[in-house]
A and B are shown apart, each in its own frame.
Chain A
Amino acid sequence: MNNLLLQVIDNPAVCVDFTPGQWDVLIPQARNSLLLATLYRLLEQRDLLDKIPLPPRNHLFSGVVTHDRQMLSLDYEVKWLLRAVQQLEVPLVLLKGGAYLQAQLPAAGGRLISDIDLLVPEPQINAVEAAFNAAGWLGGHTDSYDERYYREWMHEIPPLSHIERGSTLDVHHTIIPPTANPNTDASKLIAAARELRPGLMVLAPMDMVIHSATHLFHEGDFNHGFRDVLDLDRLLRHFAETESGFWDELVPRAIELDLLKSLFYGLRYSQKIFGTPVPPQVLAASYEGVPTKALVPLMDFLFMRVLAPNHFSCARRFDGVARFCLYVRSHYLRMPMGLLVLHLGRKAWKRRFTKAVDVEDPEYAEDGDRD
């Protein structure tokens, strides 16, 4: 078992006895999983920081510096966001990392974010976009094809970036592409959302869990898959304790949103990896959401590979194959076959014939965004 990161998350005290060689593996695992700050917080809560060697502790500390700064920046950005839409009387629903941080959930302990994800009611998305534009968040870096890809087929508008502060917004009108199979009514999510403070909301606990699972198992991005499952584990453990009737209502809610399959995978791998105490009847009920049950062992084979920390110490045979298969899967889940062929063809064409021009300059990596 080389997944030291998992061992430490499971029982932080084990790292007190780690050899330098084990730290040599743990820190890169945590860095690649975006969990340096999370480890720092875990060890801090248990008063273990002083018991670990200084060199690796410094790396954990660096992670937490970024995390603390992000929390501060998020507070600040949220103020401006609310001010930008003040006249519109539109609720802004924070999604994912931003929501965990603002709602101060246990999943926020050390959680890094790369941009601010928002959900707004579809009828008002143009007005919201105009308001954000007026407040300095502008689109850019998209050509006409990307523009059309987002506007017609995706569940979000092209990313907006602030001209002065550089903060990035992903503004969604629903949580799953309209071209995808599940028929999810985003207005139900907004109706159930909970208010953190005037104008600012987060998804209701069950919806937050279902969205976290959907995001992971419907999108093809598993670069931080391990962290994403940890989010899910922490949300589940927390809400199981704080929300009455949480487990009883979770599956019916996923059925209502047509996202039971994603919930099943979410529960399954959260339990398999982090030992989340999911009641057996809930897991069994969510299993009904999987149309082709014979494929589950294959999915286990694929997912257990891509959900390990992205580091060679956790590498197994066929990792690359698994990553590729799931990349293809994410695309056919996202759009119908005809559209998919056109889209991938177009992407390949662009990659082949458009010259990459941005030479990354390693010498002047400025501070800030590291996610």
Chain B
Amino acid sequence: MVLLKDLNPDEFQHRLKHQGLRIRCGPYVYNLQSAEQKIIDGLSLLYADFEVILEETFADFHIAMRPSGWSQQLRGVVEFYWDGRCPMNIIEVRHSYAFLEWGMNWCVSIGSDEYLKLHAAVLEKNNKALIMPGLPGAGKSTLCAALTLSGWRLLSDEHALVPLHTGTVVPLCRPVSLKNESIDIIREFDSSAVLSQVAEETHKGRVAHMKADLAPNSHDATPVPTALMIFPQYEAGAEFSLRRKLKTEAFMFAGLHSFNYKLLGETGFDTMTQLMRSVDCFDLRYSSLEEALAAVNHLEAEVFKE
């Protein structure tokens, strides 16, 4: 197995610029192609420990980021190509790495219906998975990054991939996306966290990505049994509260924030039912990250030992 950091920089860049660099991420292989310095820097920093595939192989997603011609080159913008087509608006070069990460998520969001996909952060401890669905702004990424830095294994910060008719999740470990204040909170939380350069003034504000494959088995794609579902809600100044959530309520919320629950129809319902049977659900409201971490670790100790 060849890791990206084992490739000599010339070969890495040559592949990235020409035929594409093939990186294994969980159950998928991405073929990435770009000559942008931002992307070279971002990948060599955050994907150093990912497996690269050098021989002929099937790639699930072919992504390229490059200017469509000299006019875009002069304007300092690039296109996001997916199988050669451009499904997105043009992207400023300074945002190219952040958009690559979003684009890599997007490919999974719009396809991959061999899984029930929840919009959630997923982590693992003692071979039990914790799923944290959340609305944007609920603080799930921050909490997820902090847990990753405190001994949990990140399975995904965006998609809970539940194989159909099971109550397990398949890991798809990639960098965690941090926005605005979260960037500084995480830097303060752990000064050893490896962060990409900050992309300023994107449509979501400031964005940075954090290296998240910190566990020895980060890239193991074996399905993990689920045990816990926490719905985090960060609120400045809010009093800490942790209460058990009705599974029916959790079911509705998770379904509403799933990428393909509706699309999968009966199969989606059946899979969600199985998932809900295997997890204990909680609502977590917090204003301090330390409190939230302590609560999650406490629940892990309580619930996982059962």
Q: Is the CB of B83 within 8 A of A365?
A: no
Residues 79-127 (chain A) with a chain B CB within 8 angstroms? none
B39 to chain A, nearest CB (A): 16
Give min CB distance, B182 to chain A, whole Å: 15
- Is A362 within 8 A of B58, CB to CB? no
> In whole angstroms, how far apart are the Cα atoms of A27 and B60 in the complex?
8
Stretch at the interface among B43-51, B97-105, B190-198, B240-248: B97-105
* Interface contact B111-A367, CB-CB below 8 Å: no
**Neighbouring A residues of B158 by C-beta, 8 Å:** 363
**A residues in contact with B106, CB < 8 Å:** 362-363, 365
Question: Which residues of A are found within 8 Å of B262, using beta-carbon distances?
Answer: 69, 367-368
From residue A33, how far is it (CB to closest CB) to chain B in Å? 11
Partner pick for B83 among A19, A23, A32, A61, CB 8 A cutoff: A32
Q: How far is the CB of B302 from chain A (nearest CB, A)?
A: 33
List residues of A (357-371) whose CB comes within 8 Å of B's CBs: 359-368, 370
Given contacts A65-B113, A68-B265, A370-B110, contact A362 B259 (CB under 8 A): no
**Once the chains bind, are A311 and B263 in contact (CB under 8 Å)?**
no
Nearest residue, chain B, Cβ from A18: B58
Report the count of interface residues on A (CB-CB < 8 A). 36
- Which one, B84, B114, B119, B260, contacts A32 given CB within 8 A? B84
B75 at the interface (CB under 8 A from A): no
Please give, as numbers and ranges, the residues of chain B lying within 8 Å of A65 by CB-CB distance: 113, 260, 263-264
Contact mask for chain A residues 274-310; partner B; CB cutoff 8 A; 1 contact, 0 none: 0000000000000000000000000000000000001
Is there a chain A Cβ closer than 8 Å to B56's Cβ? yes
Alpha-carbon distance between A55 and B31 when the two chains are bound, in angstroms: 14
Report A-chain residues with C-beta under 8 Å of the C-beta of B5.
none
Known: A360-B89, A368-B262. A311 touches B84 (CB 8 A): yes
Interface residues of B in 49-93 (CB under 8 A from A): 56-60, 62, 80, 83-85, 87-89
User: Which residues from chain B contact A24 at a C-beta distance below 8 Å?
Assistant: 31, 56-59
Query: Residue B261 at the A interface, CB < 8 A?
Result: yes
Cβ of A312 to closest chain B Cβ, rounded Å? 5
A58 interfacial by beta-carbon distance below 8 Å: yes
Contact in complex: A367, B263 (CB < 8 Å): yes
Interface string of B123-140 (1 = CB under 8 A from A): 000000000000010000
Contact of B58 among A23, A62, A361, A368 (CB under 8 A): A23
Taken together as a complex, chains A and B put the C-alpha atoms of A174 and B189 apart, in Å, by 65
Complex: how many Å from CA A34 to CA B29? 21
Interface residue A336 (Cβ < 8 Å from any Cβ of B): no
Find chain A residues with CB under 8 A from B264 CB.
65, 69
* B166 within 8 A of partner (CB): no
B55 to chain A, nearest CB (A): 9
A residues near B (Cβ < 8 Å) are 19-21, 23-24, 27-28, 31-32, 53, 55-56, 58-59, 61-62, 65-66, 68-69, 72, 310-312, 356, 359-368, 370
17 contacts between A and B (CB under 8 A): A20-B56, A20-B57, A24-B31, A24-B56, A28-B62, A32-B83, A55-B60, A62-B114, A66-B263, A310-B85, A311-B83, A359-B89, A362-B88, A362-B109, A367-B261, A367-B263, A368-B262
Pick the 10 closest A-B CB pairs, nearest first. A362-B106, A65-B113, A28-B83, A62-B113, A21-B56, A367-B263, A20-B58, A58-B114, A362-B102, A365-B109
